[in-house]
Structure 1
Amino acid sequence: MYLWIKAFHIVFVASWFAGLFYLPRIFVNLAMVPADSHAERERLLLMARKLQRFAHMLSGVAILLGLWLWLGFGTGRFAGSHWLHAKIALVVVAIGYQHYCGRLLRDFEVMANRRGHRWYRVFNEVSVLVFAAVVVLAVVKPF
Structure 2
Amino acid sequence: MTLLWIKALHVFFMVAWMSGLFYLPRLMVYHAQSDIQAVKDQFKIMEKRLWYFVTPFAVLTLVFGVWLISLYGKDWFVAAKWLHIKLTLVTALYAYHGYLFVLVRKFAKDENAHSSRFYRFLNEAPVLVVFIIIVLAIVKYL
TM-score bracket relative to the smaller structure: over 0.9
Instruction: Provide structure 2 residue ranges, at least 5 long, that are not aligned to the other structure.
Output: none
Give the match for residue 94 of structure 1: 93
Structure 2 length-normalised TM: 0.94
> Kindly tell me: are residues 38 and 79 of structure 1, through their superposed partners in 2, closer, same or farther at Cα, counting changes over 3 Å?
closer
- The answer to which structure has the higher helix fraction is 2
Ranges of 4+ aligned residues in structure 1 off by more than 6 Å: none
How far 1:25 sits from its partner (Å)? Answer: 0.3
How far 1:78 sits from its partner (Å)? Answer: 5.7
Instruction: Give the Cα–Cα distance (whole angstroms) in 2 for the partners of residues 5 and 66 of structure 1.
Output: 8
Instruction: Give the Cα–Cα distance (whole angstroms) in 2 for the partners of residues 126 and 92 of structure 1.
Output: 15
Structure 1 length-normalised TM: 0.93
- Any residues of structure 2 matched to 1:103-118 within 5 Å, and which? 103-118=102-117
Cα RMSD between the aligned structures?
1.5
Give the match for residue 123 of structure 1: 122
Give the match for residue 63 of structure 1: 62
Instruction: Give the Cα–Cα distance (whole angstroms) in 2 for the partners of residues 5 and 64 of structure 1.
Output: 10
Greater mean alpha carbon deviation, residues 69-78 or residues 45-54: 69-78
C-alpha deviations, 1:32-90, integer Å up to 9, x for none? 011xx222111111111111011111000010000000013328716641110011111
Query: Is 2:9 the partner of 1:3?
Result: no
Indicate the percent of aligned positions where both proteins have the same amino acid: 36
Q: Which amino acid aligns with 1:19?
A: G
Give the match for residue 31 of structure 2: 30
Instruction: Give the Cα–Cα distance (whole angstroms) in 1 for the partners of residues 74 and 40 of structure 2.
Output: 45
> Kindly tell me: are residues 111 and 87 of structure 1, through their superposed partners in 2, closer, same or farther at Cα, counting changes over 3 Å?
same
Instruction: Provide structure 1 residue ranges, at least 5 long, that are not aligned to the other structure.
Output: none
Instruction: Give the Cα–Cα distance (whole angstroms) in 1 for the partners of residues 43 and 111 of structure 2.
Output: 16
Greater mean alpha carbon deviation, residues 92-101 or residues 37-46: 37-46
Name the count of aligned residue pairs: 141
